[in-house]
Structure 1
Amino acid sequence: MSKDKSAKIPTPQAVRGTQDMLGDFADRFAYVVETFERVRRLYGFKRVEVPVIEPTAVFARSLGETTDVVSKEMYSFEDRGGESITLRPEFTAGIARAYVTNGWQQFAPLKVATHGPLFRYERPQKGRYRQFHQLDAEVLGSDSPLADAELLVFADQLLKELGISEGVTLTLNTLGDAASRDAWRAALVEHFEAHRGNLSEDSLARLDKNPLRILDSKDPRDRPIADSAPDIDAFLTSEAQDFFGAVTAGLDAAGVAWERNARLVRGLDYYRHTAFEFVTDRLGAQGTVLGGGRYDGLIETLGGPPTPAVGWAAGIERLAMLLADDVIDTRLDTVIAVEDDGQIAFAMRALAALRNGGFAAEIVASGSPRKRFDKAAKIPAHALISVGTRDGALHVNVRGDGDRAKAAEGLVRAL
């Protein structure tokens, strides 16, 4: 088979909404992940891994056959055996499936966290890609409002550790227990039915299958109707009120600021009690940087026993975009310029000692010896160490300041 040498190698960017990463943004991406890994350990969340590919039924059941994700956005296809499989569009369903199929109920309440790639066929927007990446944290098997509060405190600390909490607001709502939600849903259906003739086509479709989602509508025809719809507060049972009060009391005690958003909803029936989003105006109209809620009915939907659970997810790309320019110091600790090939053995010994001592270090030992110092000086680093020969003996010169530079100099001079 002949090859067309003139043919261009296709790139991910040829598929709209995908990307390669190198340099600054790759460093930002890694910084978000590293910070997440550090903070999740502080809260005792175990690392969990679930497959990128799952049977389509896992997501169709969990996300709802009528949702946009399932009907329009999932990458689903038949494998050679005829089974329908899907590239995961989110983490929660796979983690819930693993909780049931692996017998992880024995570890309940189970606190787990993960991160990795997800896939959705959606219109690319700022910070949204068809292959994108998320952080995810879940608590399975706990019906305590303190689990909700802990997850929110975890999220709040993560955003603070990333340095992006300024201008980000935690918005919070309660969807009540099953009785509260059913009563509210009935009232909403009655309200929207009375205005059926003025609703958009999408909202008419949702009216029979997912009426709570009409409250989210951005269509100008729907907004006056949605804005005049009844709030859930009038339908909350005393138990649901107590649950929400315990969550907000936990946040207040931990010093986490929050705002009530009575219009924040989750459309699927397995959601209960707490729903939340951390929102910002720094990413345009799509302002959610982290969101989640309690989904006490999900595992039962997947065929497992009734199991309370709560969780959140956040887009890594979106968090990386919000990082300040100076939050990551990408400089090396040390660069070694070998100005005399006769001292390469010492330079290599110094390089090994620095790296073994926890210093990020590079060496410039190729090309013209006269140009190596200038070449090394162009590499961003806290310290520049030149290694050469003067008066027939080893000569080491160090340029740089700060604690890291001084510590590196001390280590090299001690060799």
Structure 2
Amino acid sequence: MKNVISVEHLSKQYDLGVIGTGTISRDLERWWARVRGKPDPYSRIGQKDSFERIGESILALDDVSFQVQQGEALGIIGRNGAGKSTLLKILSRVTAPTSGMVKVKGRIGSLLEVGTGFHPELTGRENVYLNGAILGMRKEDINRRFDEIVDFSGVEKFIDTPVKRYSSGMYVRLAFAVAAHLDPEILIVDEVLAVGDGEFQKKCLGKMSEVSSEGRTVLFVSHRLESISALCPISMLISDGKIVLKDETSVVISKYTDEKLSNPYETLIKDKSSVHFKQIKATDQSGNLKNSFRIGEPVVFSFEINNPYSQSLELGLSFWDKYNTRLWIFTNELYDCLPFQKGPVTKVSISFQIPSYIHGDVFVHAGIHITGQLSPHYVENIRDRIRFNITGDLTNNKDGKFAKHIVPANVRLLEE
């Protein structure tokens, strides 16, 4: 088969520091402050002065080369900030590379982020025709596919409503339907499908599989490794702007999960005045660090939290398999636990038996929330920093796949 995408020595560099405020008057004020040796008047409190960052840069992509054949469904895997979205934006011609060459043969339909390619003031109907025109399609061709697009998206009641009034889910449903049904030779889909519900995600995966089977090319980025495994025979792992591996998807997923850090997690450098995890570890009942447990075996998670102002804290703990499917979650609210308050170091242990539906490699996410804080976000959020393996006989417990499945646990606030 012939190559429809050829990327050679591609690099993309972003400059940090002063770019522009958005208005001429503010740019002049910023320039005048810099001439007089004053700090940037528009930098945020606690943020590094943007004048100091002039000349700094980051390489989002660093000498990337690969080819994609016609009809290939290629998965792209990597951590946040690895360079996946930057690569797709360059392939979609949203942004230009700093150096290197990209050769693309055929029309590209891309779904990069919510709202991309849609004019907010136009109705859904008008945006369908606008996108078709951008792809070079005739009005007759769009008319022929229009009913199919609307039916797939499920927004027929709102098709004559300006899309600025759509929810994010409606936006994505219509955007994917347009991108997939207007006959692009190359379909590029970023992580935006996470906005849709589970049923629509399955629908989208089925459509992408159909597109690939018709001889068209699909590039798919997702943190849901299960979805990539189901759709893409071949995948590519990107880390720090470089291609680490391009191989069969199962091999790439194994490489990706092996790169994640194992038990225990310890903070190396952190602001002593902030609330953060100092240590998280998984042990057996005797306190021995372990990377492998059997189904039914007791496990103890110990948390040591820097809490300089003795604030009232709540924990969030979740377990995920290698396909990014959440298996179990712990929060103070879910388990009717009072907030933890002990300072300047708060120590908490959570012990439980490994349930029978968890098996294989398991990754732990942990977060800290300050009780009473209006923001729902965690002040500290650790992802994938502890990994361990579960062995034993796996039971067919379908309920175990739900995030709020209750696993009996013993929670203790420890003395320093």
Scaled by the length of structure 1, the TM-score of the pair is 0.24
Q: Which has the higher strand share?
A: 2
Which of the two has higher C-alpha Rg? 1
Select the structure with the greater relative contact order (CA < 8 A; seq sep ≥ 6): 1
Q: Which has the higher helix share?
A: 1
